[in-house]
Amino acid sequence: MNHSIIFTQVLFSILLSVASVAAWASNKLDSVRIWAAPESTRVVFDLTQAPRYADFTLSSPHRLVVDLEDTHLGVNLAKVANNSKLIKSIRYSTPPKKGTLRLVLDLHKPVKANLFSLPPTAPYGNRLVVDLDDSASAQSASSSSSSSTPSNFAASSQGLRDLVIAIDAGHGGEDPGSIGPSGTHEKRVVLEIANRLAAKINQTPGMRAVMTRRGDYFVNLNKRSELARNSKADLLISIHADAFTSPKPQGASVWILSMRRANSEIGRWLEQKEKHSELLGGAGEIIQNTDSEQYLAMTLLDMSMNSSMAISHAIAGDIIKDLNSVTKLHKHKPEAASFAVLKSPDIPSILVETGFISNPYEERQLKSGVYQDKLARAIHSGVLRYFSTNAPSDTVLAKRGVSTSTSSQKHKVARGESLSVIAQRYQVSVTRLKQANNLRSDVVHVGQDLVIPRA
């Protein structure tokens, strides 16, 4: 046979083979990214198209197997950076059928795996996300986080405690947050500010900071408030940087939970009877076993949420005053929104937008260590000013006399506050509050000044 004919037939066979593979595997795995947190790991598979996948686990040794249909490998798995304590390696394995890409995650221990796909969102394309959670490590981490910073010895000897401030640096890991004109990631800027704020709080006698994240990894939004609760936090501060489609908006703002979201959260918590004891202490133990007393749970949860929201509003107002001295304000009063990180009914929670990272000028400022320190100092000052007159009675700050003034205090009624909420906040009865202000009804007005009698 003619050599040219043989060559043509071989070439044709190769082309058919390539075409066949392409037909079988139109999707492509472009890259793999591993984000390791202290108690969990997120693995992200970047793909050219939306993934179709299946997964299962194996033991002896422990492995998670992921099958990607109609997909071919376009990355060197041996070169994937891995800083996870849960994953030994990620490797290719023989697929169950042609066109399927089988990936094996070799694990150090059995873990809980949650897989889900994400659509393209700048700067990323289609993704398959694998969340690995080590429950034992998570419990250990949460218990140790509350004792990672030593408490004041004198305080513990007198049965008092430090005021605990939970600081949440927004986004992290796979979630960069907003991205500035020059490519600055919100997640990095807010972590710097959060670290500076934590340092200032830890340097304040009678105060202690706990962080929801300490590195570049993502923490589930529900987990952030859980970490704050496990640390018995008196306040949760979530640090963010704003963004808009136009580069013009600028300035800082402080946000609290909206009343609409608060009401929906009350309903959700009521359905979770196992959580009642966690939120209501011993009362929850009785309520959850007596279906006819569920209205009492609703009342207690509603009171807890109202109190938390009133405290959040007051602290937000104090922080705004201090931010106004170091930066332009986008909002001059606390704003309400449906942010998931603020939804805890038993912990006063605020979200600080430190500026617009989409504004070129503010992006440059937010990257500056000097400016980050100014923002942290302003937030710290506002928090300290509030708790200097409203510290819980079992804290070091209260013992030092800053919250138990012998003279009457003043309070300006804010939007959403009622007489009962104000009375609960200052731990006085509604009757005494009305008597001190010569009120004939329970109606108060926004901006009204009230005298707060001694508790």
Pair 73, 108 in one domain:
yes
Arithmetic mean of pLDDT, 15-26 = 50
Order of strands, edge to edge, in the sheet holding 112-118? 71-73, 27-36, 40-47, 126-133, 112-118
Pair 30, 90 in one domain:
yes
Pair 236, 294 in one domain:
yes
Q: Nearest 5°: phi and psi at 29?
A: -85, 105
Note the pLDDT tens digit of each residue in 262-316. 555 545 544 555 454 444 443 344 444 445 555 555 555 656 667 788 899 999 9
Strands 207-211 and 163-169: parallel
Final residue belonging to a domain, choices 87, 104, 136: 136
Beta strands in 161-220 (DSSP E): 163-169, 207-211
Residue 411, pLDDT score: 83
Confidence of residue 146 (pLDDT cuts 50, 70, 90): very low
Final residue belonging to a domain, choices 87, 102, 136: 136
Q: Are 326 and 376 in contact (CB under 8 A)?
A: no
Helices (H), ranges, 291-368: 294-323, 360-367
Pair 183, 266 in one domain:
yes
How far apart are alpha carbons 43 and 215 in whole angstroms?
A: 16
| Best CA proximity match to 217, nearest among 191, 179, 254 | 191
Kindly give the interhelix angle for 369-390 and 360-367, rounded to the nearest 10 degrees.
Answer: 80
Burial label for 178, CB within 10 Å (0-12, 13-18, 19+), is buried
| Best CA proximity match to 38, nearest among 189, 209, 172 | 172
Question: Is residue 25 predicted with pLDDT exceeding 90?
Answer: no
How far apart are alpha carbons 138 and 167 in whole angstroms?
A: 18
Question: Is residue 403 predicted with pLDDT exceeding 60?
Answer: no
Pair 390, 412 in one domain:
no
Arithmetic mean of pLDDT, 411-440 = 81
Pair 222, 322 in one domain:
yes
Residue 304, pLDDT score: 64
Average pLDDT of the chain? 82
1 domain residue, yes or no: no
Structural domain containing residue 42: 22-136
Q: Are 171 and 339 in contact (CB under 8 A)?
A: no
Pair 285, 426 in one domain:
no
Which residue type occupies 381? S
Residue 135, pLDDT score: 65
User: Who wins on pLDDT, 338 or 261?
Assistant: 338
Confidence of residue 217 (pLDDT cuts 50, 70, 90): very high
Domain at 438, CATH number: 3.10.350.10
Pair 126, 161 in one domain:
no
Final residue belonging to a domain, choices 87, 106, 136: 136
Work out how many domains the chain is built from and give that number: 3
Pair 90, 203 in one domain:
no
Least confident of 134-148, 178-192, 397-411, 435-449: 134-148
Which CA distances in Å does 307 have to 148, 273, 313, 428? 29, 21, 10, 13
Note the pLDDT tens digit of each residue in 158-216. 689 999 999 999 999 989 999 999 999 999 999 999 999 999 999 999 999 999 999 99
348 domain residue, yes or no: yes
Pair 151, 300 in one domain:
yes
Pair 422, 390 in one domain:
no
Residue 145, pLDDT score: 42
Residue 143, pLDDT score: 43
Residue 122, pLDDT score: 79
| Count of other CB atoms within 10 angstroms of residue 198 | 23
